[in-house]
Amino acid sequence: MVKGIGVDIVDVRRIKGLFEKWGEKFLDKVFSKGEREALQREKGVERLAGRFAAKEAFLKALGKGMFQIPLKEIEIIRGGKGEPRIVLSGNTAKLCEGLKVHVSISHEGNYAIAFVVLEDQA
């Protein structure tokens, strides 16, 4: 049964501006260590924007605001076939026990969009 749906679109130029203004401080606040390592390999602000959009879409699906859950507890990784996956940690993982998370990320021009569906596993 579907428990929540969230979608978010991000202007890549906005994320680029945040990174240029705040640098590592921005990355440390928003992305997990594993995400930062993956982003160094992948390069490109588009990847940052896509992951940021996925985190915000997840929060919308969960019905929580950005300041209620640390963004670092929502980790966007690549699955075995390159597909995006969300891995939760900390209190967010406890809050979402029993939920299956589906995520899709796409990029077009100056925009990244993400769609998240939360499904009850019971």
Q: Which of 3, 16, 64, 107 does the annotation list as catalytic? A: 107
The DSSP 8-state label assigned to residue 31 in this structure reads S
Q: Which of 16, 43, 60, 102 does the annotation list as catalytic? A: 60
Using CA atoms, how far apart are residues 16 and 80, in angstroms rounded to an integer? 28
Alpha-helical segments (H) within the chain: 12-22, 24-30, 33-42, 45-62, 90-95
Q: Which residue, chain included where needed, has tokens 């507890």?
A: 73
The DSSP 8-state label assigned to residue 82 in this structure reads S
Does the annotation count 60 as an active-site position? yes
Active site residues per annotation: 60, 107
